[in-house]
A and B are shown apart, each in its own frame.
Chain A
Amino acid sequence: AQKITQTQPGMFVQEKEAVTLDCTYDTSDQSYGLFWYKQPSSGEMIFLIYQGSYDEQNATEGRYSLNFQKARKSANLVISASQLGDSAMYFCAMREVPRNPDKLIFGTGTRLQVFP
């Protein structure tokens, strides 16, 4: 069965430091996509970054980069130069392209707290 695993329920990082949030996935499909979303305490889901399974280069969006290791089935999010505003829940999610491209399967999330 398709599954997303986030093993870190909570993470702490000091402001201006980098932090890596772990995500592993399980799928039998060759074509799939991986997302990271940020959910502040207000509740909205903010799209951060996307990696397609056939993308050869790791995705980057500003301070966010996705460390995609296909053989290990991992898609870790790296946040560089953490800011206090980065404190939030972070969810990794997967879409399976051939089976149901619109369905997102979410992990259980990691709560990141950035301290001064």
Chain B
Amino acid sequence: GAVVSQHPSRVICKSGTSVKIECRSLDFQATTMFWYRQFPKQSLMLMATSNEGSKATYEQGVEKDKFLINHASLTLSTLTVTSAHPEDSSFYICSARDVQRASYEQYFGPGTRLTVT
């Protein structure tokens, strides 16, 4: 149980285009999902907290107009990187909390590797 999927696993896009990444909780409901960014050989940095039915909460320094987050249902959150630039190339990972289980545990998706050319 507690599986989180992400789609796509890899994406290459041209500079200036937008890319949407989906995060799904497959076998549980997630009122809260989290989006992280990981640069090569570095740690994970929380970008934003996605709440079902309400606006996302962004961490300091993260441009909310560039990284659009939508949490339309209890099993789906999307991250859209708008007007992507090469510096947006990174590994994006989402995680989710199962509201039915212990409050502290987050289940991570497999990640999406974005390359902007």
Interface residues of A (CB under 8 A from B): 33, 35, 37, 42-47, 50, 52, 91, 95, 101-104, 106-109
Contact yes or no, B103 A42, CB < 8 A: no
A3→B78 CA distance, assembly (Å): 29
* Interfacial residues of chain B within 72-117, with CB under 8 A of chain A in the complex: 91, 93, 95, 97, 103-111, 113
A95→B97 CA distance, assembly (Å): 14
State the main secondary structure of chain B at its contact with A. Answer: strand
Contacts known (A44-B111, A101-B103, A104-B106); A109 close to B43, Cβ less than 8 A:
yes
A93→B50 CA distance, assembly (Å): 20
Q: How many Cβ-Cβ contacts under 8 Å join chain A to chain B?
A: 49
Contact yes or no, B110 A42, CB < 8 A: yes
Query: How many chain B residues touch A (Cβ–Cβ < 8 Å)?
Result: 22
B49 at the interface (CB under 8 A from A): yes
Contact yes or no, A45 B108, CB < 8 A: yes
Which of B43, B97, B104 makes the CB contact (< 8 A) with A107? B43
State the main secondary structure of chain A at its contact with B. Answer: strand
B32 at the interface (CB under 8 A from A): yes
- Chain B residues, Cβ within 8 Å of A44: 93, 108-111
Closest 4 CB pairs of A and B: A45-B108, A43-B111, A44-B110, A106-B43
Contact yes or no, B109 A102, CB < 8 A: no
Contacts known (A91-B43, A108-B42, A109-B43); A102 close to B108, Cβ less than 8 A:
no
- Chain B residues, Cβ within 8 Å of A109: 43
Contact yes or no, B113 A102, CB < 8 A: no
What distance in Å separates the Cβ of A64 from its nearest Cβ neighbour in chain B? 15
- Chain A residues, Cβ within 8 Å of B109: 44
Chain A residue nearest to B95 in the complex (CB): A45
A46→B108 CA distance, assembly (Å): 7
What distance in Å separates the Cβ of B69 from its nearest Cβ neighbour in chain A? 14
